[in-house]
Amino acid sequence: MLNRFSKFFALSLICGLTWQCQTDSKTALAHLKSHPSDPFKESMVESQYFDIDTKTNQVIEGKEGTVVLIPKGSFINAKGEPVLENVQLELAEALTLDQMILSNLTTTSGTDLLETDGMIYLKASANGEDLKIDPNNPIYIEIPTAERKAGMMAYKGLRDENGNMDWIEPKKLETFLQTVDLDLLNFYPKDFEATAAAGLPFRKHEELSKELVDSLYYSLNYNNPITLDRDTIVLNEAFNNPNSQIVNGEYTAESFSWHEEVALDTSSIRQSDSIVNCGVDPATIKTIRRPKFENSLIATREFEKRLQSIFFAKEGQILIDIYIENMDKNLWELDSMAANILGNDTLAKTFRQYQSEKLGKVENANQYASLLKNFYQDKLEEVKAELKALRDKYQAELKAKKAVAKTIADKYRKVLWKREKYRMERYGLLWSSQGWINIDRGPARKNWFPKKLELIVDNSESFDRIYSYVVYTSIKSIYRMNSIDSKTFFVGNKEDREMYMPQKSSARIISIAYIGEESYLGITEFETEVDNLLNLNLIVASKSEIEETLLEFDDYKQENSIEEDLKYMDFFYKENKRLAKLRSENKLMSALWAKAFPNCL
């Protein structure tokens, strides 16, 4: 009896939804859309014919707007073998009322009256043989409609020689996901934007913007963590430094460093070997936030919701790849795959809950899935390379600046050594492999002695930076005083606050300070064996006034030139500001890293 009927698909669909076409032996494709004796064969809708290359994915569109998506290898012969040669596809569309009436496409199922949104006839053949559709590799059909109607189902149609129709085997239509503008979706980890906002200002950014948040997030490529220096450059003579060491008859470079080491919070910045494959690579997010994905699963609220859960998984990259690389599958199937990956993890319950929603896919998913998968895989490598290039460029810039700072710091260490050596030799001390030694002069009194000396700058709070110098005019030597708070200055280290001074000599303290580019000056005299605590108040002084003051010491050797020393101080001030800025940035990046990879700490 079955061979007396042609096969129709009665499709009640909304615009853009697809229905999976499968066949079995009971409902195999018939040879004709109407029988020779069919009284309506002359008025029946015309057929359209398409040549299909079975070796590639094909998409055809009928005159009335029906779209048929045909994966390669979808057709099989009567033996169940894939058809490799070209296939002829016959398509007839009855989507309007007059087309249905003229074709006698009545809408009844048994004795029940049906409501329809359209009908099509589809037949595939090769070399005169009617073909079937591989149930494991089905085709997909989209029927245009002006309005989405709830509860619509798909029916298979049987037509007898008298032109009567019966619609059988109703099948629920897939629930399709609706896409939105990608810019309306939040693809950042939880609280990432709020954390970025709390870290403002950042570099040249005073306000939060999408471009800034993107830049911050994408810079967290987890295979290439940024490392930042913690050092502050504070150099002075090595002699009274408790941390000074002599190796092979010379001070070590660290002997000239007087700074308190700056603690750097690296709790959220992991080395690459401990964070690879943990969480979601931001390069992936950058890749999928492209127009190519605007009509795909990626551009749905449902994916946005799942992404927020994916961010909390150590296997985040594996999970997100499941959704990106299998967009031809129903969303609930992807949820199931994700839950299986998570195993007994508590997060698996979340994805099981997603799975229970039984959500479908986006329209045209099968048409674009393989193309988007290939695009994603290719573009992801480009994005990773792009981000790596940006990171390498940034690191190269940091390295270059660090190299310049090191060169100047090394040069200044030599100046400090010459300054110390000059003064010590004026005292009659000699340098040995163990350090400075005194030449015994018998009962004769030495021309130097250790003496405490402190200076308080009374109006220190006003200034960005202050430099205070002791000038021993009797031996044409200078010593730049140390300070912890830029208010109290002292010679030597912070515990002893003393140094070797010329005996019974007049000396001066010259302090120079800055507020931005405006300079200030203060001068006081003292006696080396009398005064040990001095006060000074600085007043505005032009650059020329300061130069004129220092002109008195113009015949001092270069290592004892305050003017030359100030040039180094200016460089180190700017360099330390740069390093402080990097530490501040690192603090923000650490906080952002913790938000981006919450389960990777």
Q: With a cut of 80, say whether residue 425 has pLDDT above it.
A: yes
Residue 405 backbone phi and psi in degrees, to 5: -60, -40
How far does CA 583 lie from the centroid of its chain?
A: 19
Q: With beta carbons less than 8 A apart as the criterion, state whether 282 and 217 touch.
A: yes
* Poorest-pLDDT segment among 101-105, 358-362, 482-486: 101-105
Query: What does the DSSP assignment read for 399-465?
Result: HHHHHHHHHHHHHHHHHHHHHHHHHHHHTTEEEETTEEEEPP-TTSPPSEEEEE-EEEETTGGG-SE
- Is 137 or 299 the better-scoring residue by pLDDT? 299
| 455 CA to centre of own chain | 50
- In this predicted structure, which of 30-34, 207-211, 279-283, 583-587 has the lowest mean pLDDT? 30-34
The mean pLDDT value for 259-285 works out to 65
| pLDDT confidence of residue 7 | 34
pLDDT of residue 442: 52
Cβ-in-10-Å burial (0-12, 13-18, 19+) of 407 comes to: exposed
Q: Of the spans 117-121, 326-330, 510-514, 590-594, which averages the highest pLDDT?
A: 510-514
pLDDT at 165 over 90: no
What phi, psi does 127 have (nearest 5°)?
A: 55, 40
Confidence at residue 3, expressed as pLDDT on a 0 to 100 scale: 31
Annotate 64-116 with DSSP letters as a single string.
Answer: TS-EEEE-TT-EE-TTSPBP-S-EEEEEEEE-SHHHHHHTT---EETTEE---
Confidence band of 113 (pLDDT split at 50, 70, 90): low
pLDDT confidence band for 151 (50 / 70 / 90): low
Q: Of all helices (H) and strands (E), which one includes residue 166?
A: strand 165-172
Listed residue (144, 30, 167, 50) closest to 93, CA to CA: 144
Report which listed range, 64-73, 112-121, 486-495, is most confident.
486-495
* Whether the predicted pLDDT of 17 surpasses 50: no
Chain mean pLDDT for the chain: 85
> 70-93: per-residue pLDDT in tens?
888 889 999 999 998 999 999 988
CATH topology of domain 448-560: Immunoglobulin-like (2.60.40)
At residue 546 the predicted structure's pLDDT band, cuts being 50, 70 and 90, is very high
Residues 15, 511: Cα–Cα separation, whole Å: 81
> Which has the minimum average pLDDT: 27-36, 212-221, 334-343, 460-469?
27-36
Contact indicator for 467, 433 with CB cutoff of 8 Å = no
Is the model's pLDDT at 119 over the cut of 90?
A: no
Q: What are 365-421's pLDDT values in tens digits?
A: 877 788 889 899 999 999 999 998 988 898 899 999 999 999 999 999 999 999 999
Q: Where are the domains of the chain?
A: 26-172, 192-255+271-377, 448-560
Range list of H helices, 448-561: 543-550
In this prediction, residue 523 carries a pLDDT of: 98
| CA–CA separation, 510 and 527 (whole Å) | 14
Tokens found for residue 425? 């030799």
> What angle do the packed helices 347-356 and 301-310 form, to 10 degrees?
160
Quick one: pLDDT at residue 27?
42
Residue 60 clears pLDDT 70, i.e. is over it = yes
Task: Give the pLDDT confidence score for residue 363 in this predicted structure.
Answer: 80
> Is the per-residue pLDDT at 271 higher than 90?
no
Please report the sign of the dihedral spanned by the C-alpha atoms of residue 3, residue 71, residue 299, residue 314.
positive
Length of the chain: 601
Q: Provide, rounded to the nearest whole percent, the portion of the chain with pLDDT above 90.
A: 56
- The CB density around residue 215, as the number of other CB atoms within 10 Å, is 15
3-state secondary structure of 483: strand
For the cut 60, the answer to whether the pLDDT of residue 158 exceeds it is: yes
Percent of the chain at pLDDT exceeding 70: 85
Bigger pLDDT: 423 vs 184 = 423
Do 428 and 439 meet the contact criterion of CB atoms below 8 Å apart?
A: yes
Q: Which amino acid is at 80?
A: G
- pLDDT tens digits for range 475-532: 999 999 999 999 999 999 999 999 999 998 999 999 999 999 999 999 999 999 899 9
Confidence of residue 103 (pLDDT cuts 50, 70, 90): confident
Who contacts 490 (Cβ-Cβ below 8 Å, separation ≥6)? Answer: 452, 453, 454, 455, 481, 482, 483, 497
* Structure confidence by residue, pLDDT tens digits, 198-243: 999 998 899 999 999 999 999 986 554 555 555 789 999 999 999 9
- Cα–Cα distance measured from residue 159 to residue 7, given in angstroms and rounded to the nearest whole number: 7
State yes or no: pLDDT of 260 exceeds 70.
no
Between residues 149 and 269, the one the model is more confident about: 149
Q: Give the model's confidence band at 108: pLDDT under 50 very low, under 70 low, under 90 confident, else very high.
A: low
> Does residue 12 carry a pLDDT above 80?
no
CA distance 82 to 61: 23
Bridging pattern class, strands 18-21 and 246-247: unpaired
Average pLDDT over every residue of 181-191:
93
